[in-house]
């Protein structure tokens, strides 16, 4: 994807840009190396003074490393950890730390996988916050417009009456559900530490202790076994991001359609203009949310297609994950951010909704009229269909209907406000669920090491 100052703000990823930048990657890689030294000091594998020296040298090394230079140096070994470790060892040597104490017992994948998880955790907090802001805005719309009638639409055409509150409540529920799933995945992400081939042989008999200490240092769940070629944690993360993006895309699509000139039922608080047409008021936030979300399914497919890691180190499938996951975070987070901007302060136009309910002359209540007429004749559907397809429609004038039910009854049956079903009850159910403490998108995950059972995780 195009990344940087030009497109990140447009697609909602300005905040995520810094969290997922090349500089952020380098910082995370060094942080993992430092955390590993601290964990090994806890386990008695590395001298505590040496670990402290590594920890002290790390930030300066991270700041001094040039992403372009490190990228060039990474070509020979196939990943940036190899040259980075060389730089860290050189810096630590000046502090009296032997080279063997840096990166001890680890392999490049251990460092890179955990650095990716640090970025995931940091970006994930921003994504969950934006999903929560969007859900809160949708809940506010549902509460305000609980009873505001509008046309429900199926297959692009008016179907039956509903309320805008019911539509917004559905948006809110989807955002809460997808955010809750993402929160759970983030909280359960386990540390990945296996050494050269997944046996931690270089750290025996302290390998498992070091792995658990590293999880504690990084704020990740404990691993049951190294998952260097079992990529289910990454797949679950990417799938959760895909679901969240899909929830955002559905809502953004609704907003774009409802903002159309011929519909005009909503408008954004800060619409965008046109370089050529002065009259345009485009729902730009919803449009760009939809644009970002549309790119996510392909990346989810890429992540799932890269699960076939052979034996104890994949040749290519692992490498394919790095940018894929980073882009998934940027796109999903950007889409959620722009949707929150669209929904916050959204202008709802009940007058336009009422006008659109009237344009069919009562056709969207044909179901209700048929049910009432069927109490008097077995030909109810045939009669109502003929009246509905007449030019002009004759639901209020056809003698076969009016003479049987009466004009006043027909007018009552064709009043959209009196045929809303459980629309308002559904709004109440969603809002009550949120008000009674059921986890929603606004909840934040706790410490994964204490609040989630990870015994069955990798």
Residue 211: per-residue pLDDT: 98
Q: Which residues are catalytic?
A: 274, 313
pLDDT tens string 208-255 = 999 999 999 999 999 999 999 999 999 999 999 999 999 999 999 999
Distance of CA 354 to the CA centre of its chain: 34
CA dihedral over 221, 223, 228, 229, signed as positive or negative: negative
pLDDT tens string 263-284 = 999 999 876 655 455 555 789 9
Q: Which residues contact 48 (CB under 8 A, 6 or more apart)?
A: 41
Residue 451: per-residue pLDDT: 36
Residue 435: per-residue pLDDT: 79
Class of domain 14-353+428-444: mainly alpha
Percent with pLDDT over 90 in the chain: 86
Angle at 3 between CA 11 and CA 253, to 5 degrees: 25
Q: Which residues of 291-317 are buried (b: 16+ CB within 10 A; e: fewer)?
A: bbbebbeebbebbeebbebeebbbeeb
Residue 372: per-residue pLDDT: 95
pLDDT band at 456 (very low <50, low <70, confident <90, very high): very low
From the list 254, 266, 251, the residue with the least C-alpha distance to 349 is 266
pLDDT tens string 286-321 = 999 999 999 999 999 999 999 999 999 999 999 999
Cα separation, 181 vs 183, in Å, equals: 5
pLDDT band at 11 (very low <50, low <70, confident <90, very high): confident
Cα separation, 178 vs 425, in Å, equals: 22
Domain range annotation of the chain: 14-353+428-444, 362-413
Cα separation, 203 vs 442, in Å, equals: 41
Q: Which of 58-67, 109-118, 391-400 has the lowest mean pLDDT?
A: 391-400
């Amino acid at each position: 994807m195009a990344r940087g100052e030009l497109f990140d703000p447009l697609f909602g990823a300005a905040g995520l840009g810094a969290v997922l930048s090349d500089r952020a990657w380098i910082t995370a890689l060094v942080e993992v190396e430092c955390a590993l030294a601290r964990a090994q000091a806890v386990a008695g594998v590395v001298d505590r003074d040496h670990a402290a020296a590594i920890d002290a040298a790390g930030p300066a090394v991270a700041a001094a490393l040039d992403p372009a230079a490190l990228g060039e140096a990474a070509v020979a070994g196939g990943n940036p950890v190899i040259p980075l470790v060389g730089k860290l060892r050189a810096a630590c040597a000046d502090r009296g730390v032997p080279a063997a104490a840096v990166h001890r017992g680890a392999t490049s994948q251990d460092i890179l996988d955990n650095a990716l998880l640090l970025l995931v955790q940091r970006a994930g907090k921003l994504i969950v916050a934006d999903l929560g802001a969007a859900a809160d805005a949708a809940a506010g719309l549902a509460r305000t417009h609980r009873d505001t009638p509008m046309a429900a639409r199926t297959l692009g055409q008016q179907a039956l009456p509903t309320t805008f509150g019911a539509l917004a409540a559905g948006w809110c529920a989807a955002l809460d559900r997808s955010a809750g799933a993402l929160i759970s995945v983030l909280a359960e992400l386990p540390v990945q530490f296996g050494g050269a081939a997944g046996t931690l042989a270089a750290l025996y008999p302290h390998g498992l202790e070091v792995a658990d200490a590293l999880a504690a240092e990084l704020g990740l769940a404990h691993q049951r076994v190294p998952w260097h070629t079992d990529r289910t944690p990454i797949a679950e993360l990417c799938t959760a991001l895909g679901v969240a993006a899909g929830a955002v895309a559905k809502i953004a699509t609704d907003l774009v359609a409802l903002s159309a000139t011929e519909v005009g039922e909503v408008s954004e608080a800060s619409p965008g203009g046109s370089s050529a047409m002065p009259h345009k008021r485009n729902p730009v936030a919803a449009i760009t949310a939809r644009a970002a979300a549309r790119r996510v399914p392909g990346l989810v497919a890429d992540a799932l297609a890269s699960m076939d890691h052979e034996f104890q180190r994949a040749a290519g499938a692992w490498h394919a994950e790095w940018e894929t996951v980073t882009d998934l975070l940027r796109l999903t987070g950007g889409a959620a951010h722009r949707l929150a901007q669209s929904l916050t302060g959204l202008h709802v136009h009940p007058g336009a909704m009422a006008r659109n309910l009237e344009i069919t002359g009562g056709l969207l209540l044909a179901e209700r009229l048929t049910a009432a007429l069927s109490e008097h004749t077995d030909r109810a559907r045939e009669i109502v269909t003929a009246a509905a397809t007449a030019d002009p429609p004759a639901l209020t004038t056809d003698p076969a209907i009016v003479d049987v039910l009466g004009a006043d009854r027909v007018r009552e049956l064709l009043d959209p406000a009196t045929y809303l079903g459980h629309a308002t009850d559904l709004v109440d159910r969603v809002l009550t669920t949120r008000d009674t403490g059921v986890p929603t998108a606004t909840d934040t995950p706790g410490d994964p090491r204490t609040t989630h059972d990870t015994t069955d995780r990798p």
